[in-house]
């Protein structure tokens, strides 16, 4: 078994991967965002986020994303919330999630959205499967 901490980037394709990716990494009203857990079924993604920032602006942005088929926001205080988002997937999102959620790989939360457009997370699994995932969906080792 191997453990790696990786950083991925959309390489300017945030909207292609999924519009929520750009909201969590680049929206001026999001100060910090973390994905706590998810359930990926291939055609849909349910994901729980912890977000620090302007919750009203976040909700307005979520309502404008056609791929979002449902959401719920639980405010923690004036500047933070938990957000459950269920959305349909795009082809690039399916490619990314099928790569990191197949075989013996385990992605360990939290998944940290960075303001530079990258996402950082840990992967555990067999060395050969981690290397295969890197060939399909390139990531930077941290």
pLDDT at 84: 98
pLDDT digits (tens, 9 = 90+) for 108-130: 889 999 888 888 989 899 999 88
Contact (Cβ atoms closer than 8 angstroms) between residue 111 and residue 89: no
Mean pLDDT, rounded, of the chain: 86
Closest by CA to 90, choosing from 67, 111, 66, 63, is: 67
pLDDT at 116: 83
Contact (Cβ atoms closer than 8 angstroms) between residue 142 and residue 10: no
Contact (Cβ atoms closer than 8 angstroms) between residue 16 and residue 136: no
> What is the C-alpha to C-alpha distance for residues 53 and 25, in angstroms, rounded to an integer?
12
Residue 19's H or E segment, with its range, is helix 19-26
What are residue 17's phi and psi, to 5 degrees? -65, -55
- Segment of 2-11, 22-31, 39-48, 100-109 carrying the highest mean pLDDT: 22-31
Residues spanned by the domain of 34 = 2-141
pLDDT digits (tens, 9 = 90+) for 27-72: 999 999 999 998 888 888 899 999 999 999 999 999 999 999 999 9
pLDDT higher than threshold 60 for residue 100 = yes
Structural domain count of the chain: 1
pLDDT at 8: 81
pTM comes to: 0.85
Q: Where are the beta strands (DSSP E) in the chain?
A: 2-9, 30-40, 44-53, 68-77, 80-88, 106-113, 118-125, 140-141
């Amino acid at each position: 078994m191997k453990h790696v901490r990786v950083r991925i980037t959309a390489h300017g394709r945030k909207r292609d991967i999924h519009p929520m990716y750009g909201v969590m990494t680049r929206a001026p009203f999001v100060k910090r965002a973390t994905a706590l857990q998810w359930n990926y079924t291939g055609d849909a993604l349910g994901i729980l986020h912890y977000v620090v920032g302007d919750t009203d602006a976040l909700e307005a942005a979520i309502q404008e994303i056609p791929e979002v088929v449902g959401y719920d926001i639980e405010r923690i205080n004036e500047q933070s919330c938990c957000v459950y988002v269920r959305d349909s997937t795009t082809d690039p999102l399916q490619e990314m999630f099928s790569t990191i959620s197949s075989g013996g790989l385990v992605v360990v939360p939290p998944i940290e959205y960075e303001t530079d457009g990258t996402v950082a997370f840990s992967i555990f699994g067999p060395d050969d499967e981690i290397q295969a995932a890197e060939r399909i969906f390139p990531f930077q080792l941290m």
